[in-house]
A and B are shown apart, each in its own frame.
Chain A
Amino acid sequence: MSPNGGTFTQAQRAEHEMLKELVWLSPIGALTLAAAGAVLLAIVLPHRRQALVAWWVGAMHLAAAGLAAYVWLDRGFRLTMSGTIAVDGLSLVFTALVGVVGAVCVALLRPAVAGTDREGELYAMLAFASLAAVVLGAAADAALLALALAALGLATFVMTGYRRASPTAGEASIKYYIFGTVSGAAMVYGLSWWFGLGGSTSFAVIGRALPHAPAVAVIASTTLVLVGLGYKAALVPFHFWTPDAYDGAPLPVAAYLSVVPKLAGLIALARVMMLALPHNTVGWPTAIAVIAAATMTLGNLAAVAQRNVVRLLAYSSIAQSGYLLMGVAALGHSHLGLAALVYYALAYAATNLAAFAVVQAVQRERGSADLDAFRGLGRSHPWWTAALVLSFLSLLGLPPLSGFFGKLEVFKAAIGAGQAWLAVIAILNTVVSLYPYLRVIAPAILDPPDPASLPARRSAPLSLALVVATTATVGFGLLAEPLVNLADHARMLTGG
């Protein structure tokens, strides 16, 4: 692939090609700039000016999203960097999503960490994480995949342990780190098998070799690769870190973790499976479907017992991974699977951010995210309560909210792919999930407010983020057409 050993003109041509490709890589460039600039700014700026770092990182995230849209509309899709980075519909949609979600999370972070030491570095870490996530979602090469996964792990590990004084944060980040390193190592080991079987790190080349390789070797190595990506996406049985990490991390970091690394893992999984294991080699769709069923079932059942809303949302996000995975499981059968995965990802991002933003607002004012903190919220904060009800009902999948159309799409994909049993399990899960979601909503509306009234604590960035996420939760459903259409066109490049 690389032009080593070629003549001078060959090298010149390759350089020229790479320069031309920079346009396609501009969203990644923007995020790189965001991260590097943030590190510099955090060092240079005085303590009380660290908000500028937040502005910088947020603006560059939005710029990355804008550039992704530009590339899609103006340049089209392309395999870049000698076929290692796929700039296609799937990765561009994900880049835009990371851009917007990153900016929203910065807005959520600012009120949570303003004035703490090393505030600027946290924003820088978030930018690094976004960069790694975007690369992970676009990686068409095993080496790049391993690199992105490790970088994403490091950045999010630092973010999780931000509150150094808190013992739960320490436990959370250590747990997250150890799980992450071990599963990442397992994945690299699995990828090395693939390299041995295919003779290349390119997934497209590997995909031509694996269908003819010994099944045992393929199954064993694929399992190892699944460990690494399944950990990122919080799939059962690699989900143990999730509730502790979400609980120990600053709440906006948990919101970020529940969306960006999770979706990056799922999108990388979709790409790896489609490229490296074409034609449903070794029956991977069934294996993924079984994991999907286990993930949603365990997530929802565990959510039932939670009394802390952050932990409840952690288990809920595990369950949502299961629904998302239904799209991956249907990939091999028809185009419906990918469209369902992309639309569900967008709907889930909006909905989950809205839910986390409400919980953060409540926690800021009442000092707790326990179920009791939500009692009587409807009287004191009708708009927060509206956002709470809308986002939780969207997580449940009630129409006409975006979560419903997400479920409609994944159910359709599953039944269309001959996995009606999975759709039935998903439906049983939806019934189970009514309890945890309603357990938060019902006391907020039906209970009388707490007599010890607290002074309202408002924060402009938090309110803005809440409005944006809630509007998207409703708007993606009522006005679903542009998004559904986008998801329908978010194809994956499979050529070598």
Chain B
Amino acid sequence: MSAQFMPQFMQYLLSGLTVGAIYALVALGFSIIFNASHVINFAQGEFVMIGGMATVSLSAAEVPLGLAIPLAVAAVVLVGLALEKFAVEPARGASVITLIIITIGASIFLRGLATLVWDKQLHVLKAFSGDAPIAVAGATLLPQSLWVFGITLAIVLALSWFFGRTLLGKAMLATSHNRLAAQLVGINVRHVLLLSYGMSAALGAIAGILIAPISFTTYDVGVMLGLKGFAAAILGGLGSGVGAVVGGIVLGVAESMSAGYVSSAYKDAIALVITLAVLFFMPSGLFGKRGGERV
């Protein structure tokens, strides 16, 4: 083992954790909508893209970052709510497959719209607090990674408080487990669905904003990030919050390690192969619901 091993390993690990945290946020977005409606929202990646692009535009217009970020998140939440209200809700009663196709259509539409509102160029957002690298066990860590870790952690804690402690959060869980019973106790399941799109949009936007200073952002950045987030959600077990986070981290680290030790040309393939391999032995993912329950 060479003396280079540890620093190199640390470097791959840190960059894997950074991108993994982003995947985790996207995966959480998938899980929230899946829980509320059993629909996989393929426009999730577009939430990520719009979040990043809107922040770039706002900060180019000299809006301070502290204001640009909440504005961009709010804009994406509006897009998410509009998607539910004007595309998903009118198809109420349609099959899940139909709804999924609607979200695919919406993602193509949003991507097209982005080329009109913005352009097809690569854009870069300034890092939140400079680019001076921090040395960690022989590896370097960008300050932006600390933002990614910190905000992801804060969001995970906030979500577990919301679903575990608040009545509204429990009502959302109840709706996902038994829609009929939820209606019968007086939960307005249409509001729950609307809320789930709003929350997922906010998570996507935050992911897109956090990653924008690290990788470039452009009109179709959501395609790959959406796909990776989806793979992470599947890997962890669709609908599981813990699964989404673990799935995201595992996928991010696996990708970074394979880019470092094998070849960066294969990093996407290797990550997806790992996902497939896990699903082959554990079809419901690492933390997914097992079939069958006591009656």
B is a partner of A: no
B contact residues vs A (CB 8 Å cutoff): none
